[in-house]
Amino acid sequence: MFRHVVLFTWSADATDEQKAAVPRRLAELPGIIPQIRSYVLGPDAGVSTDTCDFAVVADFDSAEDFLAYRDHPAHQAVIAESIKPILAGRAAVQYTVDA
């Protein structure tokens, strides 16, 4: 299994509506991009002080399937239209997970 983890920090002026659009639109992607095996996302719970704002943990069968997801037009559209306009920071890792 190949896992992609990305953490987003939103800009200070991001509206609640803009922030809510991200999970709503990302949640559509498993129905559009067949390579997605698992897609677990959500806003930070506010339990710690030094955290980012949003997490996506996406699992694939292979690195190639992750790249198909990464470059898929539907994914790129969410990034361009809903994420980039309110993005202040991004951190990501992709790693191989034992079955």
- Give contact residues for a copy of itself (rule: CB under 8 A): 2-3, 5, 7, 40-45, 47-48, 50-55, 57, 63, 66-67, 70, 89-97
Q: How far is the CB of 58 from a copy of itself (least distance, A)?
A: 11
Q: Which residues of 4-40 are buried (b: 16+ CB within 10 A; e: fewer)?
A: bebbbbbeeebeeeebebbeebbeebeeebebbeebe
Residue closer to a copy of itself, measured from CB, 55 or 79: 55
Q: How far is the CB of 51 from a copy of itself (least distance, A)?
A: 5
Most distant CA pair in the chain, distance: 41
